[in-house]
Structure 1
Amino acid sequence: MKEVSLFRLYALRAVYLLIVVGLALLVWPGILHHSKPWELMEGVVVCMLAAFSLLCALGLRYPLQMLPVLLWELVWKVLWLSLVALPAWRSGNMSQAVLENTIACMVVIVVPLAMPWRYVFDHYLKKSGDRWRLAAN
């Protein structure tokens, strides 16, 4: 298996840092200083983004071990852009909220650029999975 280059590791760290700083500016002030209870979905989103930012902070130290977090980010944003934003844009019914979220989701373009795709293929698709049963004696 080929080793991931130092450049690629720093590219991953840059992506994790971008996410950590972005969410530190956008999400954490609302967590630390919220004055009223959140509605159900607002609370879910805020807590998921907070957890995501903490996992990305861990990615600064362990960029390869935290790749599933970036893969999750890539997949959900591509799905949202494909299934929500694109149809809204095509139909001419893109609201201001959808447009704003579309712009925010477009930042995901940095993830596939930094992703060590050979490593992902070797470790998540090609490599044997963990066993499902007790080992035979």
Structure 2
Amino acid sequence: MKNNSVIDNQSVCEKNKPANEYKSIQSAAPVVALWKTWGLRLIFAAMVIVLGSKQLNYILEGAFEWERWRGLGHSMLFALALFAIGGVFRPLTFLPIMLYEIVWKLVWLIVVALPPFLAGQDVPNIVNATASIIGIAVLMVLIPWRYVWWAYFTQPIEPWRRKKTDGNK
């Protein structure tokens, strides 16, 4: 007697045909230039090595002495470096990390660095403003924007709930 609650993958694919559906979606992905994926890998590797080692040193040297906001910042940057390890191996899968990198640096440049700069004062030395601008410019060139548009805006969204089938009543 066959257990109705356990169905092999092949019969599920034949019934609902999600495998063919996803295969057609994958085949429609825009081609990303190899130099862009290698450029992203290099940026991810730099994040792991430079950002990761710097933040790890900060954490090991004196995390107990920090005020809460400084600890939050270093913890988040260290977590970002840890996630960047995945980007070395799968740069397109980990693109949201690079998008996050662009957004937080732009916000920091506009909200924190720009007002003192316009007032003729020194820019806070928390993040190097020149390096941030150069980094954003490089990322803007390396990120495959057609792929980003395809992956995050043209794909069907995940369902909010599963459809009831005859076997799930």
What TM-score do you get using the length of structure 1 for normalisation? Answer: 0.85
Distance (Å, rounded) in 1 between the aligned partners of 2:143 and 2:67? 35
1:1-137 alignment to 2 at 5 Å?
1-34=29-62, 36-97=64-125, 101-106=128-133, 107-137=135-165
1:29 is matched by which residue type in structure 2? N
**Residues 15 and 110, structure 1, Cα contact 8 Å, conserved in 2:** no
Shift of 1:131: 1.5
2:39 is matched by which residue type in structure 1? A
Distance (Å, rounded) in 1 between the aligned partners of 2:148 and 2:60? 36
Q: Quick one: percent identity of the two aligned structures?
A: 32
**Residues 51 and 77, structure 2, Cα contact 8 Å, conserved in 1:** yes
Distance (Å, rounded) in 2 between the aligned partners of 1:2 and 1:95? 41
Helix, strand or coil: the match of 2:125? helix
Distance (Å, rounded) in 1 between the aligned partners of 2:43 and 2:98? 9
Shift of 1:136: 4.3
1:74 is matched by which residue type in structure 2? I
Shift of 1:102: 1.9
1:57 is matched by which residue type in structure 2? I
**CA deviations over 1:74-116 (Å, ceiling 9, x no partner):** 1111122122222322222334536x54234222322112101
What TM-score do you get using the length of structure 2 for normalisation? Answer: 0.71
Helix, strand or coil: the match of 1:97? coil
**CA deviations over 1:5-52 (Å, ceiling 9, x no partner):** 222210110110121122134211122333743210111011101100
Q: 1:121 to 1:4 in 2, by over 3 A?
A: same
2:45 is matched by which residue type in structure 1? L
Alpha-carbon RMSD across the aligned residues, in angstroms, is 2.0
Q: 1:112 to 1:32 in 2, by over 3 A?
A: same
Judge which range, 110-119 or 33-42, deviates more. Answer: 33-42
Q: Which runs of 5+ in 1 are unaligned?
A: none
Distance (Å, rounded) in 2 between the aligned partners of 1:84 and 1:39? 19
Q: Which runs of 5+ in 2 are unaligned?
A: 1-28
Helix, strand or coil: the match of 1:42? helix
